[in-house]
Amino acid sequence: MIGYYLRLALRSFRRAPGLTALMVSAIAIGIAACIVTLTVYHGMANNPIWWKNGELYAVTVNPSTPNRTREAGLPAYGPGQLAYDDATYLFGSSIPKRKALLTFLFGSISGAPDQTRPLPTMTRATTAGFFRMFAVPFRYGGPWSKAADRGPEPVMVLSGRENHKLFGGADSVGRTLLWSGHRFRVVGVLAPWHPLPRFYDLSAGNGGAFARPAGAFIPFQWGPVLGDWPAGDLSCDTHGSSTTPTTYQELLGSSCTWIGLWVELPTPAAQRHFLAFMQAYAANQRAAGRFQAVNTHLWTVSQWLTLHHVVSHRSGLLVNLAFALLAVCLINTLGILLAKFLRGAPVAGVRRALGASRRQIFAQHLVEAGAVSLAGAVLGLALSAAGLAGVRLMYRGSSAAYGKFAHFDAIGLAWAVALAFVSTIVAGLYPAWRIGRRAPATYLKSQ
Amino acid sequence: MLEMHNISKVYRTDMIETHALREFSLQVAAGEFVAVSGPSGSGKTTFLNVAGLLETFDGGTYRLDGQDVSGLSDNARARIRNEKIGFVFQSFNLIADLDIFDNVDVPLRYRRMKADERKARITNSLELVGLTSRMRHLPSQLSGGQQQRAAIARAIAGDPALILADEPTGNLDSLMARQIMGLLEKINSMGTTVVLVTHDPELARRAQRNIHVIDGLVADTVAPSDPAARGPHGQTHAESAVD
């Protein structure tokens, strides 16, 4: 009977093409608005390393009292980065399976064949665990060893983009480059890698959640060895003290925060042990008078993204508005369908007299409502694709993240199907139910 | 075929109760041609709606083709309407945007017949009413008489045991009316029971039995061929009431 009902629905559409177009357009606009905003929202809220969500943790240590923290304008958990002393001490723990210190240095690379000018490069100073812990893919070579961290050895990993600029994309492993005048040996070249959001470093001063990964990676200890000041976020107001270090040695001994610490704790026991280790450290520091409070935390990637409001309130609001628009469109469609079905009630009465059951009349009208919703969803998909292209065009060359996520994907398609189904239920169920309820004789009289 | 005993039907609003049928009893034998007449508001159409299971009733018993139909589910009532009853309405009630073939097809669709069998039945019934050449016409492209013949084709396509006709000639001129009556008589002669509601005494006289309804009650039953039942001017009691 579904085929028969579909034929009847098509006849019904032909009978009132204007009304049909109005309903389909309303649903399409509502669905398109939802898909465009949801696609961008989903991309921004994405956890790019979801499979390790219960294993990777960002470490925070807040040495200040809640009042001091508030006065400093920081969230309750304190600064998102750590001071050198705290970071290096916690990094020394053997509890984590893997661990990484992170900061940004600014350098310039030279010494590549045919290179005429130094290449300014944002450089990630980190530790060997960074690469395996964050599942960083390599095109050539691999990460440096833990021993290289301790040296530190003059080793470097290049991003694929930087390698292309310097070596035309060729395997540069084993080549020597000058980084800010110091010789480094290339040990690895990354395959294309651009996690969005850049979950491991969300600091606005480091480019924010949607910035590209660094162009080069060197062992963390090269910063202290070379006395190279961090090029990213550096905050010296965490203790309520306004003392600002003037030399690199002062920076290392200060409570200024500029280092990120991530640990991989694959088991609940490891998590408990490391948290206890952190708390013991903080308690010890408080006893020594360096800390004012014990306030340590481990954050999963998802929690970290939420804490940093990676998905802006504006994006969330837009999604809500899009759904509100869809609701308005569906209510309008419901009204039109109801009027249309009730106008056709005498015909339904005739069908009932000729042997259609209430359920069959309901099914016939639900199929018609479903066909309207399906057509709306198909048109909505086309409008969504156009809308996403428009977003890409609008944010082309802009630092805003929206354009990066404005690509149609399976999630968008799934949303369209789901929204079409919901549209059928919302807009079609009641009119179809209404038309099936009345006794056939009622409508035959009005025929 | 149709046995009603003390059927009552009351329409209620917040303010008013209208007794459309009260202690309405009637028996129609299989193969009979019965005319039901009465003044406007007497309950003729209510009787037809109840008889056709288009409306429920409040009291009494009703057996159709030997089956007690009180308390049946909507599905069961729809199935009986589809398989045992054919309706012919005064205003034809053809579906405007379906052609004649598809209109006749409607009850067969709900019976879930195979396409071949549906096609054979549609063709046969359109042949019987003489509309084979018009099967792809829309109702609006046919005359009133042709539309009513199409409605009759639709009523008989499912081979029902009972035809319920509500003023089938009410919208037709006398020539067309006679044609339609002839058609109904032809269908009756093939064994189908016909119950006809009409205001027209001439048509009522052509039935085997006239039932006269007043205020929801069967007031009189007359066989037109019975001379004793005729009034001083030769008309039946039923005709007197209609006039």
Chain B residue closest to A358 (CA)? Answer: B74
Closest Cβ–Cβ partner in A357, A441, A447 for B54: A441
Closest Cβ–Cβ partner in A346, A353, A359 for B87: A353
CB pairs A-B closer than 8 Å:
70
Chain centre distance of CA A20: 38
Q: Is residue B50 a part of any domain in this protein?
A: yes
Q: Check residue B225 and give its pLDDT.
A: 55
Q: Is residue B240's pLDDT more than 60?
A: no
Identity at A366, one-letter amino acid code: L
Q: Check residue A397 and give its pLDDT.
A: 60
The answer to whether the beta carbons of residues B203 and B167 sit under 8 Å apart is no
Q: Check residue A273 and give its pLDDT.
A: 96
Residues of A in contact with B98 (CB under 8 A): 11
Residues of B in contact with A364 (CB under 8 A): none
Closest Cβ–Cβ partner in B54, B91, B110 for A440: B54
Give A220-265 pLDDT, tens digit per residue: 999 999 988 998 888 886 555 556 888 898 999 888 999 999 999 9
Determine, for residues A355 and B158 on separate chains, whether the beta-carbon distance falls below 8 Å. Answer: yes
Residues of B in contact with A441 (CB under 8 A): 49, 54-55
Token readout for B216 is 């929801």
Determine, for residues B75 and A4 on separate chains, whether the beta-carbon distance falls below 8 Å. Answer: no
Q: Check residue B180 and give its pLDDT.
A: 87
Q: Is residue B234's pLDDT more than 60?
A: no
Rounded to a whole number of angstroms, the distance from the CA of B243 to the nearest CA of chain A is 24
Residues of B in contact with A444 (CB under 8 A): 49, 54, 89, 93
Rounded to a whole number of angstroms, the distance from the CA of B230 to the nearest CA of chain A is 34
Q: Is residue B242's pLDDT more than 70?
A: no
Domain boundaries, given as residue ranges, for chain A: 2-45+312-446, 50-307
Q: Is residue B150 a part of any domain in this protein?
A: yes
Rounded to a whole number of angstroms, the distance from the CA of A372 to the nearest CA of chain B is 19
Helix (H, G, I), strand (E, B) or coil at A108: strand
Q: Is residue B230 a part of any domain in this protein?
A: yes
Which CATH number belongs to the domain containing residue B144 in this structure? 3.40.50.300
Give B1-39 pLDDT, tens digit per residue: 899 999 999 988 878 888 889 889 999 999 999 999 888
Residues of B in contact with A351 (CB under 8 A): 95, 106, 110
Whole-Å CA distances, A140 to A143, A145, B35: 10, 15, 98
Q: How far apart are CA B197 and CA A47, in angstroms?
A: 75
| Phi, psi (degrees; rounded to nearest 5) at A365 | -75, -30
Rounded to a whole number of angstroms, the distance from the CA of B46 to the nearest CA of chain A is 9
Q: Check residue B231 and give its pLDDT.
A: 38
Q: Check residue A404 and give its pLDDT.
A: 63
Closest Cβ–Cβ partner in B49, B55, B110 for A354: B110
Q: How far apart are CA B224 and CA B235, in angstroms?
A: 9
Rounded to a whole number of angstroms, the distance from the CA of A442 to the nearest CA of chain B is 9
Rounded to a whole number of angstroms, the distance from the CA of A348 to the nearest CA of chain B is 10
Determine, for residues B54 and A352 on separate chains, whether the beta-carbon distance falls below 8 Å. Answer: yes
Q: Is residue B232's pLDDT more than 60?
A: no
Residues of B in contact with A356 (CB under 8 A): 78, 82, 110
Domain total for chain B?
1
Structural domain containing residue B76: 30-54+72-242
Q: Choose the mutation target among B13, B53, B81 for the interface with A, i.e. most A CBs under 10 Å.
A: B81
Q: Which residues of A touch B (CB under 8 A)?
A: 1, 4, 11, 14-15, 346-347, 350-360, 439-441, 444-445, 447
Residue ranges, chain A, pLDDT below 70: 44-45, 206, 237-243, 311-315, 395-409, 412, 443, 445-447
Cβ neighbors of A262 (< 8 A, separation 6 or more) are: A56, A57, A58, A59, A99, A100, A102, A130, A133, A134, A200
Residues of B in contact with A354 (CB under 8 A): 81-82, 87, 106-107, 110, 154
Nearest Cα neighbor of A185 from A230, A234, A219 is: A219
Q: Is residue B238 a part of any domain in this protein?
A: yes
Nearest Cα neighbor of A386 from A34, A37, A43, A36 is: A36
Residues of B in contact with A20 (CB under 8 A): none
Rounded to a whole number of angstroms, the distance from the CA of A19 to the nearest CA of chain B is 17
Q: How far apart are CA B87 and CA B78, in angstroms?
A: 13
Q: Is B51 left (phi over 0), alpha (psi -120 to 50) or beta?
A: alpha
Q: Around A34, how many Cα atoms within 13 Å sit in the side-chain half-sphere?
A: 30
Q: How far apart are CA A262 and CA A257, in angstroms?
A: 15
Nearest Cα neighbor of B34 from B188, B232, B200, B230 is: B188
Q: Is residue B88 a part of any domain in this protein?
A: yes
Q: How far apart are CA B243 and CA B199, in angstroms?
A: 9
Q: Check residue B16 and give its pLDDT.
A: 87
